[in-house]
Each structure stands twice: as C-alpha cells, then as structure tokens.
C-alpha cells in the first residue's frame, strides 16, 4: 500500500514558507463546459442496473403522406424503434498518510487530500472515461468515422501545408456533417497546439463571462475549450501529428450518477499501530456519448479504460444529425 511518508515531503524549516500543495495543472473545461450534462433520468436508470443501461427509443416518423380519397383507404405505416446503451463505471480511489508527516511538513496531508477529492474526480472522469470513449467511437473502423468525421490531414504529415491544418473552412465543413442541425454545435475542444494555430489566424475572440473572472475563447460564437488531454493520435506533438478537434452540441455526453450510501461513497480508516490515516472514495456512474451504444463485453464489474477506447465496443444507433459530436482531424 502506498502512503505519504516523511521522505516524500519538504520539511519546513523556521525560515521557509509553509508547505503548500502543488495543484494539478490539468484543465477540466471539457468536463465543466456543459457538453457533459447530468440527467435525472440517467441518474434513475443508473441506480437500477448492474452492467449496462438499456435506453430504448422511438425513431422519427418517416414516409410520404397520402392523398385522401373517398374510395381508397389510407395505408397504415409503423414507427421504428432502436436502443441506445450506456456502460456503468464503478471506480474507487484511496489515499493514506502517516501522522508524523504533518509535524515535519508543517501542513496536514490529510486536509490536502480532503480538499482535492472533488477536483480529482472531475479530472479522472474526463481523462480516463470521456477521452477513451471518444477515442473508441472515432477509432479505426469506429462507429462514427464514416459519418461524423472530417479528416484534412496529409498522408505524409511532415509535408503538411496550411490546407491540412485547422482553418475556418474545415471547421464549417465538419459542423456541416450535421446538415441543417449544424447550429446545435455550441463548443469545440482541442489541444493547445491546435488552438495556437487558430490564434495566429486571428480567428479567436475572447469574451468575458459575467459570472466568472475569466476570458473564454470563442470561434464564430462557439466556445473553444483548450485541453491538452485531447492528445494527438499519431506523431506525438511533431509536425506529422494528427490532432483530433471535437465539435459538440450541448448535452452531447450524458452523465448519470448513483447516490451511494454515505459510508460507501466516502469513508475513512486508521491503522493505529502504524499511525496511518486512510481516505477512501467510490463512484458509480455512467458517462455516455448519446446515440452511440456500448455493445462490448468486459471482464470484472466495470470496463477498463482500454475497453472504452476499443472501437468494436461501440455501435451507432442515432441518425447522424441527432448525434451531437463531430471530429475534425488536422495536422499541427
């Protein structure tokens, strides 16, 4: 069991400033933007399922109308049905620290752990659930590659030109995959390397939000979320890299949380002889790209991150226009 020991901390001398926690530099705007929205219905079904949440739905009405006649009856048609499916995630995390640490560090590691738990889960759900799921539905042969993706990258990335890099025409073409529902796009998410290219093209407008002391970047009225968790899928930060840029509609990702008993969601323990305090947290939830059903099998009680990132585990069940996610692939 790993735990914080005296050797892991800076011992505070009288002349040193108090020990402070080095906060994570990971950006969580992708999760906090409203693209991922909590749904009371998903909360309800998530609390009643073991492995997969089944979500049947009726398809849109289709077919041509018929002319009325006093001699010929109308021909009844039927409505089609299909099923979306979300996978349950059941995950936990524990931390431990020894009593002596706070006396040598001049700061209590247990308090620092308490203070950081909420932000930890925001980052974890984004980094290891949402991003792998996006990698799965857009991976090689994935459910949305043929209908919801535009790839402008060069065959040889080293030879990429401005036409292969992010630009306004490419973004408009990607949004255009949703046809007359292109206006449902409310935000884009990209790596900072790609964002800098947009800035150099002077296509970014910074807007001050009235309820926040921050300036948020926008492109033609759509929020731009800069997140280095959206890593290149090849080329690893070189000119040859293929970078994904995601265009989202609001609520494109559904979130359902299970209200665990308090002693399961959060609990503490103590090894008295060792002087170790332990904090344990658990979450049961689903985080689901709406309209792309999870059809995979997995070992154990929860899917691994690799399971979520496997294209064969996903199936498109909504029409293209009703799936509020589009991916644009660009070179750096």
Q: Per-residue pLDDT averaged across 190-204, rounded? A: 94
pLDDT at site 63: 86
8 A C-beta contact, residue 93 and residue 283:
no
Retrieve residue 97's tokens: 């620290």
Find the range with the poorest average confidence among 79-88, 171-180, 283-292, 303-312.
79-88
Please give the mean pLDDT across all residues of the chain. 87
In a domain, 213, yes or no: yes
22 pLDDT band, cuts 50/70/90, is very low
Distances (CA, A) of 206 to 88, 129, 183, 214: 38, 29, 20, 9
8 A C-beta contact, residue 291 and residue 251:
no
- Sign of the four-CA dihedral 139, 141, 143, 145: positive
211 pLDDT band, cuts 50/70/90, is low
In a domain, 274, yes or no: no
pLDDT at site 17: 45
b/e for 27-54, b at 16 or more Cβ within 10 A? Answer: bbbbbebebbeebeebbebbeebeebbe
In a domain, 9, yes or no: no
* 3-state secondary structure at position 39: coil
In a domain, 219, yes or no: yes
- Is the model's pLDDT at 16 over the cut of 80? no
pLDDT 10s digits, 26-67: 556 666 677 888 888 888 888 887 788 888 878 888 889 999
Residue 104 CA to residue 11 CA, distance in Å, equals 5
* Domain extent for 150: 26-58+81-92+126-260+283-332
pLDDT at site 15: 46
Can you tell me which residue has the tokens 């093209």? 201
In a domain, 297, yes or no: yes
Can you tell me which residue has the tokens 């991916």? 327
In a domain, 174, yes or no: yes
pLDDT at site 19: 42
Q: Which residues contact 295 (CB under 8 A, 6 or more apart)?
A: 85, 313, 314, 315
- Is the model's pLDDT at 168 over the cut of 70? yes
In a domain, 14, yes or no: no
pLDDT at site 33: 74
Retrieve residue 161's tokens: 């030109």
Domain count, the chain: 1
Neighbours of 84 (CB within 10 A): 20
Q: Per-residue pLDDT averaged across 185-207, rounded? A: 93
In a domain, 110, yes or no: no
pLDDT 10s digits, 317-327: 999 999 999 99
């Amino acid at each position: 069991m790993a735990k914080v020991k005296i050797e892991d901390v800076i011992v505070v001398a009288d002349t040193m400033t108090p020990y402070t926690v080095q906060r994570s530099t990971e950006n969580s705007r992708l999760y906090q933007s409203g693209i991922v929205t909590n749904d009371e219905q998903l909360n309800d079904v998530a609390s009643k399922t073991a492995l997969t949440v089944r979500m049947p739905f009726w398809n849109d009405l289709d077919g041509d109308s018929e002319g009325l006649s006093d001699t010929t009856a109308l021909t009844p048609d039927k409505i089609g049905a299909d099923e979306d499916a979300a996978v349950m995630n059941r995950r936990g995390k524990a931390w431990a620290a020894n009593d002596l640490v706070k006396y040598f560090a001049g700061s209590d590691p247990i308090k620092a752990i308490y203070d950081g738990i909420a932000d930890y889960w925001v980052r974890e759900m984004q980094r290891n659930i949402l991003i792998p799921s996006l990698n799965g539905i857009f991976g090689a042969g994935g459910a949305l590659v043929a209908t919801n993706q535009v790839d402008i990258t060069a065959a040889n990335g080293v030879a990429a030109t401005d036409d292969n890099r992010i630009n306004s025409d490419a973004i408009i073409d990607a949004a255009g995959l949703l046809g007359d529902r292109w206006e449902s796009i409310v935000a884009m998410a990209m790596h900072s390397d790609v964002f800098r290219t947009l800035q150099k093209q002077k296509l970014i407008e910074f807007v001050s939000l009235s309820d926040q002391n921050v300036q948020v970047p926008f492109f033609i009225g759509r929020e731009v979320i800069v997140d280095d968790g959206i890593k290149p899928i090849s080329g690893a930060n070189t000119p040859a890299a293929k970078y994904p840029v995601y265009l989202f509609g609001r609520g494109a990702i559904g979130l359902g949380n299970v209200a665990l008993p308090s002693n399961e969601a959060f609990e503490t323990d103590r090894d008295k002889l060792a002087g170790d305090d332990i904090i344990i947290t658990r979450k049961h939830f689903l985080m689901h790209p709406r309209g792309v059903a999870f059809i995979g099998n997995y070992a154990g009680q929860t899917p691994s991150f690799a399971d979520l990132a496997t294209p064969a585990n996903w199936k498109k069940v909504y029409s293209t226009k009703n799936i509020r996610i589009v991916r644009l692939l660009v070179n750096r």
